[in-house]
Amino acid sequence: MEIIYDLNDICREPTVATIGSFDGVHRGHVAMIEETRRRAAALALPVTLVTFSQHPRMLFDTAAQPFLLSTTSGRMERLAATGVERCVVLDFDRELASMSAREFMHKVLAERLNVKLLVLGYDHRFGRPVEGEDGDSYIEYGRECGIEVVRAAKYDEAGCKVSSSQVRRALAAGDVETAAMLLGHPYSIGGTVVHGAALGRELGFPTANIELGEPMQLLPLNGVYEVSAIIGGKRYRGAMNVGVKPTVTGSGKRTVEMFIIDFEGDIYGCSIEVEFVRRLREERRFASLNELKAQIVKDVAAVRMAAQKQ
């Protein structure tokens, strides 16, 4: 997939496009992209995905808590896997945010990208809000500048509406399995392995402390999770704690650390991506480090048992 960040680099061949933040690239996004590809094939035109360098919410809500479902690189990788020809990444700044949908369609989609057909999500809205504007307004704006506008079919999974908001709700409840069902892939986080307090090593369970590569990426509900990570091209299972470690610290700062089963080696400074499999239990405060260690033994045994059944 060709990724274009500068509109001056665009070859103005006619194209079929769809637009969105594509946060998480969930099943609904993929279904809409597939519909766009089918419509483009019928017209013998290439597909252009139009997305943004940052989620629009980042510009307007500077006090927002972490909410992103993917890193920029992870989002691009999953979009590339859909088989589209190119992706245009627009810098979502104040100037772009001030454009109405009508201005955006005329100045960007028609004049710069030469879009002939625009496929929108069934409930997608874009541009600076204008009173009274609705889906029919987009169709009219398109007629003015030579773009046919169509709505993609609504997509549900097992009778459940698929949206980034639904994924976030599942993660907020610690339900990483439902999140994976909605996404079409396990929810994952990426970052760098950094030094911690080394308490895990003292307990006999050395952990990889992970500093997130995208600080605004959403972490699931505090707790202990069965996870999977790829290190050196090999996949490892493990147990991950997401939370504030109430038994050993009173800082209240959320941290992420993983005990990697059957792994030995120095991976400090290395990049790591971890996929959530299921939630094992809530995070809780133990009366002593010995009680904590006994529980970790049970957590690791549960992960081993699950792995053996697969």
**Whether pLDDT at 32 is above 90:** yes
| Same-domain check for residues 140 and 259 | no
| C-alpha dist (Å) from residue 130 to 34, 56, 148, 231, 303 | 30, 17, 21, 49, 52
| Same-domain check for residues 64 and 16 | yes
Which residue reads 């599942």 in tokens? 170
Q: How confident is the model at residue 103 (pLDDT cuts 50, 70, 90)?
A: very high
Instruction: Determine the Cα–Cα distance for residues 74 and 209; give it in Å rounded to an integer.
Output: 20
| Predicted local distance difference test score (pLDDT) of residue 183 | 96
Boundaries of domain holding 252:
188-309
| Same-domain check for residues 156 and 195 | no
The pLDDT of 104-121, averaged and rounded, is 95
**Whether pLDDT at 136 is above 80:** yes
* Better pLDDT: 132 or 261: 261
| Same-domain check for residues 49 and 137 | yes
What's the CATH code of the domain at 100? 3.40.50.620
DSSP designation for 8 = G
68 inside domain: yes
| Same-domain check for residues 295 and 241 | yes
| Same-domain check for residues 198 and 60 | no
**Whether pLDDT at 4 is above 70:** yes
| Same-domain check for residues 56 and 157 | yes
| Same-domain check for residues 8 and 125 | yes
| Same-domain check for residues 206 and 295 | yes
What's the CATH code of the domain at 198? 2.40.30.30
| Same-domain check for residues 29 and 151 | yes
| Predicted local distance difference test score (pLDDT) of residue 156 | 78
Cβ–Cβ under 8 Å, residues 18 and 84: no
> What are phi and psi for residue 87, nearest 5 degrees?
-135, 125
221 inside domain: yes
What proportion of the chain, given as a percentage, has pLDDT over 70? Answer: 96
175 inside domain: no
| Same-domain check for residues 139 and 197 | no
What proportion of the chain, given as a percentage, has pLDDT over 90? Answer: 63
Compute the CA torsion angle 234, 238, 244, 249 (nearest 10 deg).
-100
| Predicted local distance difference test score (pLDDT) of residue 181 | 95
* Domains in the chain, number: 2
> End-to-end distance of the chain based on CA atoms, in angstroms?
34
pLDDT 10s digits, 205-251: 788 899 999 999 999 999 999 999 988 788 999 999 999 888 877 66
| Predicted local distance difference test score (pLDDT) of residue 217 | 95
121 inside domain: yes
pLDDT 10s digits, 172-202: 999 999 999 999 999 999 999 998 766 666 6
